[in-house]
Structure 1
Amino acid sequence: MNAITAGDYPAHFLREDGRRTATANERVLMDLLSRQGPSSRADLARLTGLAPHSITRLVEPLIVRGLLREALPVAAGRGKPAAKLALEGSAAFAVGLSVMTDAVSLVLLDLAGQVHGARSERLADIEIQPACRQIRGMIDAAIADAGRDGTRLVGIGIGVTGYFIGDGARLNPPRLLDPWALVPLDTILSEALGEKVWIDNDGNVAAIGEAMLGLGRVSRDFAYLYFSAGFGGGIIAQGRPLRGRHGNAGEFASILPADWPQPNLEALRLTFGEHGTSFPDLHAMLTDFDAGHPAVDTWLDRCMPSLNLIASAIFATIDPGAIVLGGRLPTSLASRIVQRISFTNPARRGFHRPSARIIPSMIDGDATAIGAATLPLRAAFFDSNAGHVFMED
């Protein structure tokens, strides 16, 4: 592992826009607190290998700047009770957006990882400027309803369905989002929304959301299957997103031969129509979803060979600890898939390769919007760029 020193740092480390953020060493501590939860100075010293006085040198400015809070000591057995340090949620927040073919979801995520102001609306107009006006209204209403201080907004993260074409923030989304295709979304959306924005594929940011607030709290390596109008996903390796050369790692749909069924929710919506139950869009289908409907059985029968192939390919190439079923997939349907999915894993000398667990997402809410909201917060407070650890001066 690389090492950095617990050396001097400025009392206020400012971004160009004047908002507070954290130095590289401070980010490591804040990331630990994000993953471990409230911890004592002794806990942080043990986890980082730093002496207690070095921890204090790092912690005190963070407390003064309002990024950390220190609770009253709690007695735990013999000896002097230890005070717990925790991230101060009110210090900063970010907006996370999930832009889908039929709807847009939004959350506010504070510095401590708490979700506020979640809301979802049908996308009234897919043209970018009208959509941005709708989104801006959603943001303003969410901030007001949550009672947040707008000056503490770090930025806006946006997950958009589609894959990158290798040119900045230009995505190639499905036909239903044609106005969003092949244009510099980072520049367009930043100007339209009046804030700095971070753009990524919806599967990638959903995986990041799972890493920050779901399975990632207990597992550092997993693959994430993203079910929506399309099908994709993301990969988390050693707690960090594995995005690939062009940002398209996790495009699991491409594993399937062209004539194999795609296991997406749009195909499920059409299958409901075959069984005499029509929905105008996914939003309507998912509002009162019935996992026991005969259409679900038909969809599963068609899609399980595809899901088995994808899971087996992930299992063989990535060897993750788990494969998470998420996106817009209802938990009741995820549970049915868990029961039926299987790996290609022949025995040798009576042994099979250790396989990944298949589990539903542990995120309560829109994982894409939550993951998107983590992007600005990671950039400002948590991402130390190389997963550095400390060493003494």
Structure 2
Amino acid sequence: MLPARSGSAMVRAMTVHAHEDHFQKPSESEANILSYVLRNRGTTQPEIARNCELSQQTVSRLVNELVDRGALAQGGRKASGRRGQPSVTINIAPEYAYSLGIALMTDAMSVLLMDFAGNVVDYDYVAMPVMTRKAVFDRLGGVKQRFLDRTPSARERLTGVGIGISGYCLDGKSRYNPPRALDDWAMVPIDEVFSDALSLPAWVENDANAAAIGESFLGAGRDHANFVYVFMAAGLGGGVVSNHRLMRGTHGNGGEIGLILPWRLFQLPTLETLLQSIRKAGVDLDGISKMVSDFDPDWPGVDEWIEKSRDPLSLIASAIAALLDPEVIVLGGRLPKTLAQKIIPAIELFDDARRQEPRPLPKIIISQTHVDACAIGAAIIPLEQKFFATML
């Protein structure tokens, strides 16, 4: 989970944004209710009471207060299958709050505006020849302004910005050691840099962990409380979610599943090695972004890459199953869904198949979030920090 921000950064954020804070901080029980409703749209008060372990009287009072504050909205009625009048459905009120999510990649930046219900309201993908801080903020200011011009209701209800970046966390907070293409972001407090530039509270997370947070609230986490997210992009990472909580580890680097592989023995199953395989087969592509946007599963070089990726992915998946015993393993990141559909049947989970009833194994599924996994997860972080039952 994300740790508390450093004292200086928090004081500065409170000073800058105190006059803009329109929101009442929810209690722990209210945050649990909001989290449950976000994952279970169209739920009812009896369902909330059963799953949040609260009395019906308490749920009724808290839901009414959240409706009065504008955080929840009542919908139509839903039959419960029991005798009596159908229950009123409860949903998140989308326009109650908004957040920005930013994914910093080696060759591009994606930015999205998310509403309180987790809907992507606006999105922009910006190819970047260089990923310096100056280049990013020169483009980011205009993107933010266009978003707010197109969605004026977000202007006064923007809660903060979340940033996802590739690399290892150095201090368990906001300093990262990213790939060479992101040198200008190395070893600096990224949350403070963004907060100063955008005049918003900011939080930063490893790209794979950010994607896992998004998946927990808006994807596979709606059906599975325990899963491991495999983030495939230029590199290979992951995020571990246990009982809806992200397991960050001591230094914020939990889930670095790419390090399971003895790299001298295996080709890393990444989009960078896929690009190399496709180029070697004669397909002319500018980079990973172009390959992902135009991806054709029948390109020459794809099947060869899958064949070389089969054993390392089987080793990783088998290690995940043995160590963590999750409900599902989710393949996501920047991985094209048509490629994931070809990879999954090739992955083998090692098992001794003892007797007639071998141990239960996790199912491998495709990520259920859309648009941009890292940016979606990054956008969830400010909302989660302020309103939902904390993942930290």
- Please, what TM-score do these two structures have when normalized by structure 1? 0.89
Report Cα offsets for 1:167-219 as digits up to 9, x if no partner: 63111111111111111111112111221111000000111111111111101
Of residues 276, 293, 300, the one that matches 2:299 is 293
Of residues 175, 185, 192, the one that matches 1:187 is 192
Residue matched to 1:250: 255
SS in 2 for 1:83: strand
Amino acid at match of 1:41: Q
Residue 120 of structure 2 is aligned to residue 107 of structure 1: no
C-alpha distance in structure 2 between counterparts of 1:272 and 1:48, whole Å: 49
Partners of 2:314 and 2:348 within 8 A in 1: yes
C-alpha distance in structure 2 between counterparts of 1:117 and 1:375, whole Å: 17
Residue 232 of structure 2 is aligned to residue 227 of structure 1: yes
Higher mean Cα deviation, 333-342 or 35-44?
35-44
Amino acid at match of 1:307: L
> Structure 1 residue 76: deviation in Å?
6.8
C-alpha distance in structure 2 between counterparts of 1:117 and 1:356, whole Å: 35
Which runs of 4 or more aligned residues in structure 1 lie more than 4 Å from their structure 2 counterparts after TM superposition? 72-78
Change in Cα spacing, 1:301 to 1:23, as seen in structure 2 (3 Å) is same
Higher mean Cα deviation, 68-77 or 311-320?
68-77
Partners of 1:129 and 1:192 within 8 A in 2: no
C-alpha distance in structure 1 between counterparts of 2:366 and 2:391, whole Å: 29
Residue matched to 2:276: 270
SS in 2 for 1:332: helix
Amino acid at match of 1:340: A
> Structure 1 residue 52: deviation in Å?
3.3
Higher mean Cα deviation, 97-106 or 278-287?
278-287
Residue matched to 2:215: 210
Residue matched to 2:40: 36
Change in Cα spacing, 1:276 to 1:346, as seen in structure 2 (3 Å) is same
Residue matched to 2:359: 353
> Structure 1 residue 60: deviation in Å?
2.4
Residue matched to 1:378: 384
Report Cα offsets for 1:276-323 as digits up to 9, x if no partner: 223221111112111111210121122211111111111111111111
C-alpha distance in structure 2 between counterparts of 1:84 and 1:173, whole Å: 45
Change in Cα spacing, 1:146 to 1:295, as seen in structure 2 (3 Å) is farther
Structure 1 vs Structure 2 CA RMSD: 1.9
Higher mean Cα deviation, 366-375 or 117-126?
117-126
Residue matched to 1:138: 143
C-alpha distance in structure 2 between counterparts of 1:254 and 1:299, whole Å: 19
Amino acid at match of 1:254: L
C-alpha distance in structure 1 between counterparts of 2:246 and 2:219, whole Å: 14
Residue 330 of structure 2 is aligned to residue 324 of structure 1: yes
Of residues 287, 290, 315, the one that matches 1:284 is 290
Change in Cα spacing, 1:81 to 1:350, as seen in structure 2 (3 Å) is closer
> Structure 1 residue 124: deviation in Å?
4.4
Report Cα offsets for 1:330-374 as digits up to 9, x if no partner: 001001111100022122234432111111111122111111111
Partners of 2:283 and 2:300 within 8 A in 1: no
Amino acid at match of 2:56: P
> Structure 1 residue 48: deviation in Å?
3.6
Change in Cα spacing, 1:52 to 1:324, as seen in structure 2 (3 Å) is closer
Partners of 2:384 and 2:391 within 8 A in 1: no
C-alpha distance in structure 2 between counterparts of 1:185 and 1:76, whole Å: 48
Residue matched to 1:307: 313
Report Cα offsets for 1:20-74 as digits up to 9, x if no partner: 1312221111112112222333333333444433223212221221111123546
Matches within 5 A, 1:25-104: 25-73=29-77, 79-104=84-109
SS in 2 for 1:148: helix
Instruction: Considering Cα pairs closer than 8 Å and 6+ residues apart, tell me whether 1 or 2 has the greater RCO.
Output: 1
> Structure 1 residue 105: deviation in Å?
1.1
Residue matched to 1:4: none
Amino acid at match of 2:134: Q
SS in 1 for 2:88: coil
C-alpha distance in structure 2 between counterparts of 1:53 and 1:270, whole Å: 60
Partners of 2:108 and 2:131 within 8 A in 1: no
Residue matched to 1:6: none
In structure 2, stretches of 5+ residues that fail to align are 1-16
Partners of 1:117 and 1:143 within 8 A in 2: no
Between the two proteins, the alignment pairs up a number of residues equal to: 372
SS in 1 for 2:138: helix
Partners of 2:282 and 2:300 within 8 A in 1: no
Residue 170 of structure 2 is aligned to residue 157 of structure 1: no
Amino acid at match of 2:95: S
Amino acid at match of 1:19: H
Residue 30 of structure 2 is aligned to residue 19 of structure 1: no
Change in Cα spacing, 1:384 to 1:173, as seen in structure 2 (3 Å) is closer
C-alpha distance in structure 1 between counterparts of 2:79 and 2:389, whole Å: 33
What percentage of aligned pairs have identical amino acids? 37
Higher mean Cα deviation, 24-33 or 165-174?
165-174
Partners of 1:45 and 1:52 within 8 A in 2: yes
> Structure 1 residue 155: deviation in Å?
0.5
C-alpha distance in structure 1 between counterparts of 2:269 and 2:297, whole Å: 15
